[in-house]
Amino acid sequence: MMMRNYLRAVMLIGAGCLSFPTSAQGDTQTVENAQYFLSLVLTDAGYVPGSMRTGIAYASRNLRYGQTASIGGRTLVTDASALSRCVSRILFDISQLRFVFSDRGEKYEQNALTFLKKAWGDDAKMPGTNVEGFHWGDVVSAVQEGAVVSLKFKGAEHSSQILLGDDAMAKRVVYAINFLRMECDPAGSTGF
């Protein structure tokens, strides 16, 4: 009798373990989980798109002696959602971002979007930041520099920067991005 009760208890415990998902199932490294992680972490993070950095480089090449150009203000990611497998978007608010020009001590500021449109017209492209999103296979590199992640897109002259404020989080973000780069690489199925 005692053995039968013991076996019943073991069977009930075993059945209970099978009916409830384990925490390991939610911790699986998948494209979807990496995209979800980034959507949680990047929203409200600072962001400087590579096109803004290209704009400053462009302005700096055309400055005279004693003149400087820099970026002022702060942009925040407003949407880092996954659109489909391997396709995400990074949208941001640049209303507070401005280009700051200095001419022998005198400063001039201009809204960044206004500057970009003057420099490139209405064709001012911002790789990785359009509503339609980007494919993670189009990311050339992701590098951590302290609490900053530099993200380089195909066709972009300069890397975009994600400003996380925490080295440990930046390390996790780079890991997730590099995971997505490898998993979403169209040539990845070749084994090379």
Question: Distances from the Cα of 52 to the Cαs of 19, 43, 93, 117, 159, in angstroms?
Answer: 52, 19, 13, 11, 10
CB 173 within 8 A of CB 149: yes
Confidence of residue 184 (pLDDT cuts 50, 70, 90): very high
pLDDT at 13 exceeding the cut of 80: no
Residues 3-29, mean pLDDT to the nearest whole number: 47
Confidence of residue 124 (pLDDT cuts 50, 70, 90): low
Per residue in 100-123, pLDDT tens?
A: 878 777 887 877 777 667 766 665
Question: Distances from the Cα of 152 to the Cαs of 60, 101, 109, 111, in angstroms?
Answer: 21, 26, 27, 24
Confidence of residue 7 (pLDDT cuts 50, 70, 90): very low
More confident residue, 99 or 138: 138
Exposed, middle or buried, 118 (CB in 10 Å: 0-12/13-18/19+)? exposed
Dig out the tokens for 59 from the structure.
């302005």
pLDDT at 156 exceeding the cut of 50: yes
Q: What is the 3-state secondary structure (H, E, C) of 156-172?
A: CCCCEEEECCCHHHHHH
Q: Which of 32-36, 69-73, 156-160, 174-178 has the lowest mean pLDDT?
A: 69-73
Q: Cβ–Cβ contacts within 10 Å for residue 23, how many?
A: 6
Coil/strand/helix, residue 98: strand
pTM score: 0.72
Dump strand ranges (E) for the chain: 46-48, 67-72, 76-79, 82-84, 87-88, 91-93, 98-103, 106-111, 134-135, 139-145, 148-153, 160-163
Q: What is the mean pLDDT of the chain?
A: 78
Query: For position 123, what pLDDT does the model report?
Result: 58
Question: Distances from the Cα of 92 to the Cαs of 13, 71, 73, 95, 184, in angstroms?
Answer: 50, 16, 13, 9, 24
Confidence of residue 72 (pLDDT cuts 50, 70, 90): confident
